[in-house]
């Protein structure tokens, strides 16, 4: 095993910085579509690195290339110096764990059982041992349960160990996914939109949890659309646009980059009316409608109905539930399904993310 070690910069812990993940020239093509093009990315020990980009930019595809779900068309991925095997369970065993954009828990299992499933790559007991249930099996099982409880304590779910996972609120299901990923004792944790569908309090708690994970010596690579979250959290951020890495740097460099702002928010439409103009139009329409009512002697109610409908205040689209806010279904943690199917979002889809880069952020 060759280990890539960069000793030029000391890690926060005082230890030498080690390159945990080294992705070089990763390209992933699906027929004629190049979802990821020649992307390089490293994650060092002690780091939290963010991966951002508009919908369809190739972030999840890149994650899938890192975790053995996809074999990159070109390029190479190394974990602590060793080229990763092209099988997701082997990647997990090597030391990379992940969570999914769409929660994938075993909904009919308890919270504790879900974490125990995550430990399978770290337990040596085989089929015969499990069937015969000898002393070795019981000892290993007790150790696994103890570790699983420790992890539930760590994420704040110990008091719900015996609950069915499907009964947990959404934010807690996401925490449970993280606990399950940690159960494989990874050196690198990949989080795909960990705060999707969370309220601000849950998002803040998730931020604290990820800092705590980093403090335990686990490097983190996180995809997120919530820019405030990502710029608060990450030591470094890389932005993908249409499969290519547009920029990589510290939060302050990336969040003030005009290309990132343009890619995320879209170029402002020059003639777009501001709030003031919209209010003026609304007032003018109201006056006109009132005048018309007086002339025709129509009812006040009728006038009000038509007149007060200011442009842009037409019935707002109903708050779309997060795409992954569906009850978790039993799924093999190593055999995901959704991520292997093409998504509806086209490359370059400029759907505005939930929040854009915030300059006021002091990250």
Ligand X SMILES: Nc1ncnc2c1ncn2[C@@H]1O[C@H](COP(=O)(O)OP(=O)(O)OP(=O)(O)O)[C@@H](O)[C@H]1O
- Residues of this chain that bind ligand X (CB under 6 A): 30, 33, 35, 53, 55-61, 101, 340-343, 345-347
Return the number of the residue (113 or 193) whose C-beta is nearest ligand X. Answer: 193
What is the rounded end-to-end Cα distance, in angstroms, of the chain? 37
Distance of CA 227 to the CA centre of its chain: 12
Neighbours of 322 (CB within 10 A): 16
Rounded to 5°, angle at Cα 217 from 214 and 218 = 60
Q: State in angstroms the smallest separation of the CB of 275 from ligand X.
A: 29
Return the number of the residue (57 or 168) whose C-beta is nearest ligand X. Answer: 57
Q: State in angstroms the smallest separation of the CB of 196 from ligand X.
A: 9
Q: State in angstroms the smallest separation of the CB of 137 from ligand X.
A: 39
Gap between the Cα atoms of 25 and 176, Å rounded: 33
Token reading at 167 = 């009964």
Return the number of the residue (5 or 55) whose C-beta is nearest ligand X. Answer: 55
3-state secondary structure of 272: coil
> CA distances (Å), 48 to each of 167, 236, 302, in order?
31, 7, 58
Return the number of the residue (35 or 206) whose C-beta is nearest ligand X. Answer: 35
Return the number of the residue (253 or 346) whose C-beta is nearest ligand X. Answer: 346
Token reading at 48 = 């939290």
Q: State in angstroms the smallest separation of the CB of 274 from ligand X.
A: 29
Q: State in angstroms the smallest separation of the CB of 22 from ligand X.
A: 20
Give the residues across from 156 on adjacent strands: none
Q: State in angstroms the smallest separation of the CB of 68 from ligand X.
A: 15
Neighbours of 320 (CB within 10 A): 7
Return the number of the residue (33 or 83) whose C-beta is nearest ligand X. Answer: 33
Gap between the Cα atoms of 220 and 344, Å rounded: 28
């Amino acid at each position: 095993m060759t280990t890539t070690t960069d000793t030029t910069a000391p890690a926060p812990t005082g230890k030498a910085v080690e390159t945990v993940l080294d992705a070089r020239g990763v390209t992933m093509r699906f027929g004629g579509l190049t979802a990821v093009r020649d992307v390089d990315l490293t994650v060092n020990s002690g780091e939290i690195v963010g991966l951002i980009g508009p919908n369809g930019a190739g972030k999840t595809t890149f994650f899938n290339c890192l975790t053995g779900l996809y074999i990159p068309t070109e390029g190479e991925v190394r974990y602590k110096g060793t080229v990763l095997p092209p099988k997701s369970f082997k990647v997990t065993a090597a030391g990379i764990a992940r969570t999914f954009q769409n929660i994938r828990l075993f909904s009919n299992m308890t919270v504790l059982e879900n974490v125990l499933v995550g430990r399978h790559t770290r337990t040596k007991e085989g089929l015969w041992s499990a069937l015969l249930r000898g002393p070795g099996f019981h000892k290993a099982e007790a150790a696994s349960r103890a570790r699983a409880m420790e992890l539930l304590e760590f994420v704040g779910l110990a008091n719900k160990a015996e609950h069915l996972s499907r009964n947990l609120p959404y934010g807690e299901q996401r925490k449970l996914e993280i606990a399950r990923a940690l159960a494989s004792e990874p050196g690198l944790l990949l989080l795909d939109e960990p705060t999707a569908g969370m309220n601000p309090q849950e998002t803040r708690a998730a931020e604290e949890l990820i800092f705590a994970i980093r403090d335990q010596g686990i490097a983190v690579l996180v995809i997120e659309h919530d820019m405030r979250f990502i710029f608060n959290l990450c030591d470094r951020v890389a932005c993908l646009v249409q499969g290519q890495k547009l920029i990589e740097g510290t939060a302050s460099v990336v969040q003030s980059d005009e290309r990132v702002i343009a890619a995320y928010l879209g170029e402002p439409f020059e003639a777009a009316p501001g709030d003031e103009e919209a209010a003026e139009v609304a007032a003018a329409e109201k006056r006109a409608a009132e005048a018309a009512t007086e002339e025709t002697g129509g009812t006040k109610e009728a006038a009000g109905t038509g007149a007060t409908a200011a442009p842009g205040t037409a019935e707002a689209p109903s708050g779309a539930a997060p795409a992954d806010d569906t009850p978790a279904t039993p799924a093999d943690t190593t055999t995901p399904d959704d991520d292997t199917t093409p998504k509806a979002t086209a490359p370059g889809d400029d759907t505005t993310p939930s929040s854009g880069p915030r300059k006021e952020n002091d990250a």
